[in-house]
Amino acid sequence: MGDVKRYTNGTTGGPVFVDVKDGKILRILPMTFDDSDAPSWTIDARGRAFTPPRRAAVSPWTVAHRSTIYSPKRILTPLKRVDFDPKGARNIQNRGVSGYEPISWDEAFEMVADEIVRIHREVGPAGVMSTPGSHHMWGNVGYRHSTLFRFLNLIGYTYAEHNPDSWEGWHWGAMHMWGFSHRLGIPEQYGLLEDALKNTEMIVYWSADPESSCTGVYGGNEGNIRRRWLKELGVKMIVIDPYLNHTQALIGDKWFSPRLGTDVAMGLAIAYTWLTEGTYDKEYIATRSTGFDEWKDYVLGKTDNVPKSPEWAQQESGIPAREIRALAREWASKKTMLAAGGPGGMGGASRAASGNEWARTMVALAAMQGLGKPGSNIWGTTSGVPLDCGFMFPGYAEGGISGDTANSAAGFRFVNRMFPNGGGITNPHHTTEGQTVPRLRIPEAMRHETVEWRGKGFCGSHIESQFQKYEYPAQGYPQVEMYYRYGGSFFGTMTETNRYVTAYREGKVPFVVNQAIWFEGETKFADVILPACTNFERYDISEGANCSGYISDSYTFANHRVIVFQQKCIEPLGDSKSDYAIFEGLADRLGLWGPFTMGGKTELDWVKDYYNATDMPKVMPWDEFAEKGYYVVPSPAPEDRPKPALRWFAEDRPKDTPDWGPAPWDQVKGAGLQTMSGKIEFVASSLKRLEATGTVDPERPAMGPQYFESWEGHHTADLYGRYPLQLVSPHPKFSFHTMGDAKDSWMNEVKDNRVLVDGHFYWIMRVNAKDAAERGIADGDLVRAFNDRGSVILYAQVTERVPPGTVHSYESSGDYQALGEPGHSPDIAGCVNILTPKRFITPTSTAMANNSCLIEVEKWGGAAGSAAAGGAGKNGAVKEGVA
């Protein structure tokens, strides 16, 4: 094997070594560190010394990356739908059904550029709508905030804004209780690993599955060993989740599965127990919160005659009152970390009706037990590792080569270092002054309907920004005439997703281009497909787990700070090109080549510029970095480690963590939270002001958290009568949104991901044995899950890991295969979001409630073989020799 060359690269699941032989990737290995790299940190706690392994702990889809790079579903040449003629019949009604024919890059560039020019001339640049998938290929130069925004900002467009899809309730609810708008409602996590190892006695994982690699976010499986240490120290592990998740399976001491939509009731009953037994931190509540007495009266039932007692909560949640009391008592007696969602502020319960009130409940409970005091915090167990937060290397959401200060965090620090003499591009059309569409209403925009909502995308500049009202079309702006889709498939990830399917075929958008690497579910609905390559086929630069701009200092998900030169390992497959090269080709035809490339910079030039704009040149010359491929940032000395999150708040001191917010105007003298009082607000001043300006949202009241019966749950009698099963569809264990799924990759063969039946890999639905027996369903049967919104064919896994009445199926199918007419027939690829409601979680929260979903399940006698005959069959829509 003498001719094997080792390269370095980065992925959404961790940094890797790539062995290449004869121009092909031989193997992909998790990065390991040797004596030439900086030593790892050691935490001394309870008589033991804890230090991490000298290697990356990567996600499964990272290990399987060779199979997605060389996937049979790769698109290797530009394609045009066979019955699409931009100068004649466009036949948009056939999208998703008619096949494709190869065209040259020149033809593809001309076709797309001509459409962009036509739209500029006919309706203006905002007639072009565009949006990417949530998680594209890794790399700060190639990332969507970077290369994509640089191009789009130059041509002008209507951006389909992303909602905070993984942590909705924190953004729309918890933010009003404790601020953190710069983190979109999620708390800081600095220093909490050491705090937990030293002080914590119990961890409550509430709607959290950190052992599911996706909810360790970009940290892959890095946190596994830290939870093992805590377990070995005797820290008690409680898991509250409708599904007996992998964290409970591995380390859980007690599992609670409250009925979907009733977590708030269970939380209020815990508070009730503490109130009636006097076991909460009264001094903390008195000095660090406001509005508590009003909320206390609500919990005790003094205002509505409904005491939120454990017995009351038992009626709602199905959890025995005595067990709720036992949990409350143990929690009060032990220093407890509340892992409220994998990263500490996330979780499926926040993606549901009243997700806002659930997130507020988490803050309320943590506050009642001294949030921020030693061993007591909201901490997901996935981050807060003692790394050097002073070493400046930005995350992927800090703008990269776009320098977009309105739609990324570039304005925070990076743009002036990257573009000291100008050259960053921000487009005022793509700001609050222009036109946007919420991603959850893309289908309505494509149908040229009108839409109203609040908050522009990840609106975290300040708390009130999420109250601002928007409309589509914006005053004086056009309806969209072109959709420039970029990576991913929303059919598997958004809500009521047959809307997204039918919008292509029955809507009013005459031109759709999809720039994609693979034939994912949504790719097959474009008129023109531009084949992009993976990050293993081009240059880039990144840091493991660093998505800063979204989550500040998120590299603390990982055990080491690893800056990676993403070396070009192989040439782009087929005729695919890097995203940068594709945009460069289009920019050339639009007369924008100069500004797009800033005078002809190559991707490698941008990577070097990027490197030079960080702290990297201070520690390693470019040539050495380019050769070695990575740099491990030394861990700080124990006395220099980041201070524990919110300890400053608990002790009423100025903030002393490395966090970059709140903004100076949202704080007084550098101390206090971002709320008006500077304290945890049980009566939210921001929501009171919203009410004072005439908007009362009964599902998001100023005083809270409050329990509301779900608007799609066991109290919605008529619907529940017809569809008596509650579906929970969490982020998947085996994919990062759609990125790791389908593609005929080895991920298909992971037993708990998909199952092969009669030649088709089915997505799994987990059904309790009792529900299965009542419906004549046996383990391994194919089933049809359905409601009024559509139906999905799935593989039934009969299990005790869900209670009767609850079914579980991960979201994020990467494919979509209709058995008949797309959007009007069952999908056999597993897009369970076809079944979820499009309603926002509250009338004023532009958020999705995937986990408020009633369905029925029946045994299905069909066969996948019929899928190829009609609809967007597995490969049926692709002409021979194309893919």
Partner 1 sequence: MAKKWNLVIDVSRCMDCNDCFLADKDEFTGNDFPPYSVAQPWSGHRWMNIMRTERGQYPLVQVAYRPTPCLHCDDAPCIAKSPAGTVFKREDGLVIIDPVKAKGHPEIVATCPYEVIYWNEEAQVAQKCTGCAHLIDEGWTDTRCSQVCPAEAIKLVFADDAEMAAKAAAEGLEVLRPELGAKPRVYYKDLYLFDKAFIAASLAFGDTDECAEGARVTVSETSGGAVVGEAVASNYGDFYVDKLVPGKEYGVTIEAPGYAPATRIINLDKSVNLGTIVLGRP
579 is catalytic: no
Out of 83, 115, 222, 827, the only residue in the binding site for partner 1 (CB under 8 A) is 222
Q: Are 448 and 479 in contact (CB under 8 A)?
A: yes
For residue 109, give the amino acid letter.
Answer: F
Is residue 321 near partner 1 by the rule CB under 8 A? yes
3-state secondary structure of 303: coil
Is residue 28 near partner 1 by the rule CB under 8 A? yes
Q: How far is the CB of 574 from partner 1 (least distance, A)?
A: 17
Helix (H) or strand (E) holding 321: helix 321-333
Q: Point out which span in 29-37, 534-542, 548-556, 675-683 binds partner 1 (CB under 8 A).
A: 29-37
Q: How far is the CB of 311 from partner 1 (least distance, A)?
A: 9
Chain centroid to CA 302: how far?
40
The residue among 334, 372, 382 whose CA lies nearest residue 644 is 372
Residue with tokens 């329990």: 707
Q: How far is the CB of 180 from partner 1 (least distance, A)?
A: 30
Q: Are 839 and 851 in contact (CB under 8 A)?
A: no
Binding mask 112-151 for partner 1 (x = CB under 8 A): ----------------------------------------
Is residue 810 near partner 1 by the rule CB under 8 A? no
The 10 Å CB-count burial string (b at 16+, else e) for 704-730 is: bbbbbebbbbbebeebbeebebbbbbb
The residue among 487, 589, 486, 592 whose CA lies nearest residue 108 is 589
Out of 370, 549, 803, 837, the only residue in the binding site for partner 1 (CB under 8 A) is 803
The residue among 524, 500, 485 whose CA lies nearest residue 790 is 500
**How far is it, in rounded angstroms, from Cα 858 to Cα 653?**
58
Is residue 257 near partner 1 by the rule CB under 8 A? yes
Taking the alpha carbons at both ends of the chain, their separation in whole angstroms is 31
With respect to partner 1, which residue has the nearer C-beta, 228 or 653?
228
With respect to partner 1, which residue has the nearer C-beta, 29 or 451?
29
Q: How far is the CB of 21 from partner 1 (least distance, A)?
A: 9
Is residue 775 near partner 1 by the rule CB under 8 A? no
With respect to partner 1, which residue has the nearer C-beta, 202 or 268?
202
With respect to partner 1, which residue has the nearer C-beta, 155 or 558?
558
What does the DSSP assignment read for 674-704?
SSTTSSEESB-HHHHHHHHTT---TTS-SB-
Q: Point out which span in 66-74, 139-147, 187-195, 380-388 binds partner 1 (CB under 8 A).
A: 66-74
Chain centroid to CA 27: how far?
28
Residue with tokens 């070995």: 232
Is residue 626 near partner 1 by the rule CB under 8 A? no
Cite the beta strand spans of 647-789 per DSSP E.
680-681, 725-728, 754-757, 760-768, 782-787
Is residue 329 near partner 1 by the rule CB under 8 A? yes
Residue with tokens 């979204």: 550
Q: Point out which span in 99-107, 215-223, 479-487, 624-632 binds partner 1 (CB under 8 A).
A: 215-223
Is residue 724 near partner 1 by the rule CB under 8 A? no
Catalytic residue, chosen from 65, 135, 171, 714, is 135
304 is catalytic: no
Is residue 300 near partner 1 by the rule CB under 8 A? no
Is residue 750 near partner 1 by the rule CB under 8 A? yes
The residue among 686, 764, 729 whose CA lies nearest residue 855 is 729
Q: Point out which span in 240-248, 409-417, 576-584, 708-716 binds partner 1 (CB under 8 A).
A: 240-248
Is residue 48 near partner 1 by the rule CB under 8 A? no
> Which pairing describes strands 511-516 and 528-531: parallel, antiparallel, or unpaired?
parallel
Out of 31, 45, 58, 97, the only residue in the binding site for partner 1 (CB under 8 A) is 58
Is residue 233 near partner 1 by the rule CB under 8 A? no
Is residue 757 near partner 1 by the rule CB under 8 A? no
> Which pairing describes strands 336-340 and 100-102: parallel, antiparallel, or unpaired?
unpaired
Is residue 26 near partner 1 by the rule CB under 8 A? yes
Q: In degrees rounded to 5, what are phi and psi of residue 215?
A: -90, 5
Catalytic residue, chosen from 7, 205, 243, 396, is 396
**How far is it, in rounded angstroms, from Cα 133 to Cα 150?**
17
Cα dihedral sign, 43-48-49-51: negative
Q: How far is the CB of 254 from partner 1 (least distance, A)?
A: 5
Catalytic residue, chosen from 165, 241, 540, 781, is 165
Q: Are 833 and 348 in contact (CB under 8 A)?
A: no
Is residue 768 near partner 1 by the rule CB under 8 A? yes
With respect to partner 1, which residue has the nearer C-beta, 144 or 766?
766
Out of 8, 9, 10, 30, the only residue in the binding site for partner 1 (CB under 8 A) is 30
Q: How far is the CB of 224 from partner 1 (least distance, A)?
A: 5
Out of 43, 57, 363, 397, the only residue in the binding site for partner 1 (CB under 8 A) is 57
165 is catalytic: yes
Is residue 49 near partner 1 by the rule CB under 8 A? no
Is residue 51 near partner 1 by the rule CB under 8 A? no
For residue 325, give the amino acid letter.
Answer: R
Helical segments of 590-708, H only: 593-597, 603-612, 616-619, 622-628, 647-650, 685-692
**How far is it, in rounded angstroms, from Cα 464 to Cα 454?**
10
Is residue 63 near partner 1 by the rule CB under 8 A? yes
The residue among 837, 738, 753 whose CA lies nearest residue 790 is 837
With respect to partner 1, which residue has the nearer C-beta, 321 or 719?
321
Is residue 253 near partner 1 by the rule CB under 8 A? yes
For residue 831 the two structure tokens come to 């897009």
The residues assigned a catalytic role are: 135, 165, 396
Enumerate binding residues for partner 1 (CB under 8 A). 1, 26-30, 32, 53, 55, 57-60, 63-64, 66-67, 70, 211, 213, 220-222, 224-225, 228, 244, 246-250, 253-257, 320-323, 325-327, 329-330, 733-734, 746-753, 768-769, 799-804
